[in-house]
Amino acid sequence: MLKLAILGFLRDHPLHGYDLKTRIAALTGHVKPIADGTLYPAIKRLETAGLLTRRSAPGKIAAPRHMLELTQDGIDYLRKLLREPDELSITDENRWFTLLAFLRHLENPREQAIVLRRRLAFLSDPVSYFYDAQGRPMAADEFDDPFRQGLLTISQAANRAEFRWLHTTIGELERH
């Protein structure tokens, strides 16, 4: 998720490390804030792999800033991550949102639709946070507990909205 976020934001435009950290935190920070000890080594690994470069640019007030930008290899690798996301990037909501934030960088509408179809297939399987003794998913109206009812009601409403959006967007992409 971090690698995709770094590459995706840098595909938008070159950024200073601090600006990159701020953007990643806005996208994923509600899950777990990004620590400098995680971000900067990840940037260094991507730089060592030839996926991004650093260049000095004048600072706004003081010292020069190191701007990060993608190389062509970085752009190609980003497209590969978007075209071939792992299963967790499809099924885990936070990873899915990160993937979705940058899917526009996969410029082929048919390839975008394939990724969206994978998410649609995942959402089409009945799931719940709670199961009865036989392993059947339980619905909100099966609980007396208003908190579990709330959890399931909110989750089901979000899934219905995403399901509608996916159908509409896939249809639009496949018309291109």
Domain co-membership, 153 together with 105: yes
| CATH code for the domain of 56 | 1.10.10.10
Domain co-membership, 60 together with 105: no
What radius of gyration, in Å, describes the C-alpha atoms of the chain? Answer: 20
**Which residue range(s) make up the domain with 62?**
2-83
Domain co-membership, 126 together with 59: no
88 within domain boundaries = no
- If one counts the domains in the chain, the total is 2
> What is the pLDDT, as a whole number, of residue 30?
66
Domain co-membership, 123 together with 75: no
CA pair distance 83, 85, nearest whole angstrom: 6
pTM exceeds cut of 0.75:
yes
pLDDT in tens, 26-63: 998 666 677 778 889 999 999 999 999 998 877 667 66
CA pair distance 147, 129, nearest whole angstrom: 12
